[in-house]
Amino acid sequence: MPGRGAKAKEKVTDGLALHSDQGFQYLSQEYFNLTKSYHISPSMSRRGNPYDNALAENFFSILKTECLYRVKPRSFAEATALIDDYIYFYNYDRIQLKTKLTSVEFRNQFVA
């Protein structure tokens, strides 16, 4: 089951929700039990409503266009490293055209 590595690296706070679409893997009893064991509330898009997941879909579109379509990883390990590096770049180095800030800089404006 994907996602177990994130649990080991990140502190889960009360009220954490994990949003997904209605893919078969997210409808499984195993996924439901895993989220409950980590005290995470599963959350899903409504059927036929693409706006619920628009931010995630936008990010994955950018990830594919700027990263995965430019480099064809030859193994799962290479793909994982490539994606990890891109996510770091996306958050800390990539300047957003609208805000002229990185994602972290933009989010930090709203943190007290």
**One domain, residues 61 and 103:** yes
Same-domain check for residues 78 and 101 = yes
Same domain, 67 and 25: no
What average pLDDT does this structure show over 96-100?
92
pLDDT classification of 42: cutoffs 50, 70, 90: confident
Both structure tokens of 6: 């994130």
CA nearest to 63, candidates 109, 103, 23: 103
- What pLDDT is attached to residue 95? 94
Q: Is the pLDDT at 2 greater than 60, yes or no?
A: no
Do 33 and 71 fall into the same domain?
no
- Helices vs strands, H then E, count in the chain: 5, 2
H or E element, residue 20: strand 17-20
pLDDT value of residue 1: 45
Domain total of the chain: 2
DSSP letter assigned to residue 99: T
Residues 40 and 62 in one domain: no
One domain for residues 59 and 29: no
Phi, psi at residue 92, to the nearest 5°? Answer: -110, -20
Q: Residue 34 sits in which domain range?
A: 4-44
Q: What is the mean pLDDT of residues 11-36?
A: 76
